[in-house]
Structure 1
Amino acid sequence: MRGMSEKLIAGAVLVALIAAFAYFTNPTVQERRALEQVRLKGGSERDNRPVGEIDLVRLYPDIVLRLGPTDTKTVALTFDDGPDMQYTPQVLDVLRDKGVKATFFLIGNRVEEYPDVAKRIVQEGHLVGNHTYSHPEIMKAGGELLKRELALTEQALAKIGATGSGLFRPPYGAISPNLVEEAAALGYRVAMWSVDSLDWRGLPKDMVVAKVMEMMSPGAVVLQHSSGGPGEDLSGSVQALPEIIDTLREQGYRFVRLDEMFPAVPASNPQ
């Protein structure tokens, strides 16, 4: 009886090993795993998006950046949560074809995971900002976590040739007076936005275009995403981008990076 049981166990193990081998060597599975984004530590934008934004621009006008000069028709396109191998290259293709320079707020561990895509962002003339290393819920942590997250990201950015822009965008757009002051003490300005495309909701192209255009004004800072959490669909955002660019140009807008929209405020380099 014992010999029979051992044979049954051995057979079950063999079947499991064969199944595992077939799963991980299946081309479709490998392809899917290659495209899967590095997970956001704080969860997806859908689950953690703040209900409302505290407007701290009035209290910290030289630190919290939300809307540029309103006397000229300039607009800054910004993209969060990259890089990845799926959406970021598509966004870069559109920007290249349209001759537009933008600002990308990159996550440190994704820069390490996809360095070639991150290097392409820099090489094609876009500005890079710090979006933390692991995209945590930074409001629930102390200043030491913020300092560590920003420092690790700066190290990753330095390896791909991105000099410190001194711009920090908090995960989920969650800010408070304490967070602003802690970021400023580290030499950063906090880059927010005036136009939210809501692309993180997986909206189709037409809805993304509509959201951007209905909130558009001179000096606008537009939020879109060049990556997201696993399973998030940003195809509508990518498809909307050419129309957004063309429509704004027809209306007389000029596209700028954030360092062009907001003149540099003297500050120490990010540490």
Structure 2
Amino acid sequence: MLSDHQITSRRLLLVAAGMSLLGTAAGCRAPWSSEEVAAEAGVDETALPVMPAGSGGAPGAAAAASAPAAPSAVASPSAAASASPPATAAPGVVPVRKALTEAETKPVYELDAARKVVALTIDDGPDPRHTPTVLALLQQYGIRATFFLIGENATEHPALVREISDHGHHIANHTWTHPDLRSLSASKVRDELVRTSDLLHTTTGRQPTWFRAPGGDWSTESLKVAADLGMRNMAWSVDPRDWSRPGTSAIIDTVLKDVRPGSIVLNHDGGGDRSQTLAALKAYLPVLVDSGYFFTAPPN
């Protein structure tokens, strides 16, 4: 029986192994490192278990060699979340925003395909009907995801925003009202992004470092504002169009057909009836885990 510390350490090793970085295909430097992951969770990286020789860095092999039989070969993210900072930012604290290189301002569509890693992204929440079920599924399989939250929804459900953060997931900016940014003036685009980042920072104590334009429709101004706020832009490479409710089987089939090492998968937990999405997640997540995929997200 593994202790809590061993489980946390093992999960961190799996996450660190998957830090093959968003943006590698575009020539970008890794946006997060194994040292950042270990430091965030308060774990001494030198104490992490060593990957078995000949595993090629694939965490699936390490898990099979030393972890209990799963579907969840990786541990729940809740343990690492216990080291999170306070849930709300101190009044008057100005967030530190990273200066981005020109390459880092470009939308990222996939991860490094050299590793069998997937980034699961969840858009349009939080939604009290569906987000708790998504969180329970991710915890069941030890998956850490990125939630792109809409400001209007976040301000109505701050406790749910904090719950997502407390589970160790990455919280990112998806605008305030989910508009088509290409049709907005520069001042309105800035308002959409700044209001959302400020709210998420105030609610969770963490400054968003990633942004996704609604519909993937970036504008010149939104790219500029995101860079000003220290946010990189995350697109996707696998889109089952679950928002259109094409049927549970269609969502499952698209994900399993299109996913490959380095994929960024798009799903939704808000914006309407997401029962098909939930049913699809329940079906395809264990298939991906059992197929040797592991999941990554930037540190909070």
TM normalised by structure 1 equals 0.69
Number of the residue aligned with 2:111: 68
Gaps of 5+ in 2: 1-25, 29-101
Q: Does 1:131 align with 2:171?
A: no
Deviation at 1:62, TM superposition (A): 2.5
Aligned partner of residue 196 in structure 1, secondary structure:
coil
Q: Does 1:246 align with 2:286?
A: yes
* Match 1:117 to one of 160, 177, 182: 160
Partner Cα separation in structure 2 for residue 71 and residue 143 of structure 1: 39
RMSD of aligned residue pairs (Cα, Å):
2.0
Partner Cα separation in structure 1 for residue 282 and residue 190 of structure 2: 37
Alpha-carbon contact 1:65-1:191 (below 8 Å) kept: yes
* Match 1:194 to one of 237, 242, 256: 237
The one-letter code matched in structure 1 to 2:273 is: D
Q: Does 1:165 align with 2:208?
A: yes
Deviation at 1:193, TM superposition (A): 0.5
Partner Cα separation in structure 1 for residue 204 and residue 176 of structure 2: 17
Alpha-carbon contact 2:193-2:225 (below 8 Å) kept: no
Partner Cα separation in structure 2 for residue 175 and residue 242 of structure 1: 31
Aligned pairs, number: 201
Percent identity, aligned pairs only? 34
Partner Cα separation in structure 2 for residue 211 and residue 61 of structure 1: 30
Aligned partner of residue 62 in structure 1, secondary structure:
helix
TM normalised by structure 2 equals 0.63
Matches within 5 A, 1:1-271: 61-63=103-105, 64-228=107-271, 232-257=272-297, 259=298
Q: Deviations over 1:57-108 (max 9, x none)?
A: 6997433111000000000100000001111111111111221110000011
The structure that has the greater radius of gyration is 1
Deviation at 1:146, TM superposition (A): 1.8
Partner Cα separation in structure 2 for residue 98 and residue 182 of structure 1: 36
Number of the residue aligned with 1:14: none
The structure with higher relative contact order (CA 8 Å, sep 6+) is 1
User: Alpha carbons of 1:92 and 1:69: their partners in 2 closer, same or farther (altered >3 Å)?
Assistant: same
